[in-house]
Amino acid sequence: MIKRYLLAPGPTPVPPEVLLAMARPMIHHRAPEFDKLFAEVRDGLKWLFQTQSDVLMLASSGTGGMEGAVSNFLSPGDKALTVNGGKFGERWGKLCKAFGAQVTELKVEWGRAVDPQAVSDALKKDPAIKAVYVQASETSTGVAHDVQALAKIVKAHGETILVVDAITALGVFDIKTDEWGIDVVVTGSQKALMLPPGLAFVSVSEKAWQLADKAKNTSFYFNFKRERDNQQKNQTAYTPAVSLIIGLQEVLKMLKAEGLSAVFNRQANLAKAMREGMQAAGLALFPKESPSDALTAISAPEGVDGQAIYKNLRTQYGITAAGGQDHLKGKIFRLSHMGYMDRFDVIVAMAATEMVIKGLGHPIKLGSGVAKAQEILMAK
């Protein structure tokens, strides 16, 4: 028998309390019982997003929220600036082009964070840019972009909005949506929100709604204005993912009981233990700067196939991690520590990584990384 551990950067483990909540008998989404549930969850999402604006709930993956964050704010021919520092930054560019936008792509070396000055320069060079699209946490590289600095820059450019993919960021580290002036924030259910895949969430500022009023792109299912009008009445335009919303109610109770600051501190401590543990074991982190607290991307040792590490973690020790994408395939592997994770998830991941790499013939002192992680986790 092998016990299974889900340590991939999405989907992430779901707490037993949430699974039990979702196992309750189905309720009808037009019944008064759902109205009450939906109202509670809407308020909880505003707390989590740190915003007074509506947070839309969509029955889709996070990419559905990303698509809506393009189609609802841009018209064909509008100019958009996309930050491509990884696989998901690349996705912003593809989405914008799919809806007829003229895209200026700011390419950033994978493993580095975007320089806010480069965004400022691009906006000064072309003041007609309507929207800037970026990740808060680039899942493919394990890098966090400084969205606070970017929000300050974009705010100074008239009607231009900042759209942030926070799919592996929200609920992991502090994102002050209103205070920083981020116009659109997108996340998904299967990351730090500790739910199965199937829900996307999007907060929209008043500035972004004004841009939406002028947008000419057509969207039927991902029509944010229609959803806002319905969700303000505690309904959805179309059939919602009822059981996931019931689970979300439980998740929000758990997060509120812990407190946002405590959540961020816990996630930061787990990330620190994972990063420093890997380095103590003689492994190199892939990010050259600004590592995300959601996951750790580790470079495969010289002569070792990163895909073999990722596969052996699963087949030998029951740990589902993630490999590299595109040109990073075989060069890195990634381990998550976001959401329903605690200290011993990091210890298990660290110990198994050492065992797999030693088994692949690379010299490594067993326990060296584990010991470092233990020191950090005991000190908290």
Contact 13, 327 (CB under 8 A): no
Q: Considering the domain boundaries, does residue 4 fall inside one?
A: no
Q: Considering the domain boundaries, does residue 245 fall inside one?
A: yes
CATH code for the domain in which residue 56 is found? 3.40.640.10
Contact 137, 107 (CB under 8 A): no
Same domain assignment for residues 199 and 305: no
What range does the domain containing 268 cover? 260-379
Pairwise CA distance, residues 334 & 305, whole Å: 13
CATH code for the domain in which residue 275 is found? 3.90.1150.10
Final residue belonging to a domain, choices 257, 284, 312: 257
Pairwise CA distance, residues 349 & 296, whole Å: 11
**pLDDT tens string for the chain (380 positions)?**
899 999 999 999 999 999 999 999 999 999 999 999 999 999 999 999 999 999 999 999 999 999 999 999 999 999 999 999 999 999 999 999 999 999 999 999 999 999 999 999 999 999 999 999 999 999 999 999 999 999 999 999 989 999 999 999 999 999 999 999 999 999 999 999 999 999 999 999 999 999 999 999 888 999 999 999 999 999 999 999 999 999 999 999 999 999 999 999 999 999 999 999 999 999 999 999 999 999 999 999 999 999 999 999 999 999 999 999 999 999 999 999 999 999 999 999 999 999 999 999 999 999 999 999 999 999 86
Distances (CA, A) of 213 to 12, 71, 203, 226: 36, 12, 16, 12
CA dihedral 280, 285, 291, 297 (to 10 degrees): -110
Same domain assignment for residues 135 and 234: yes
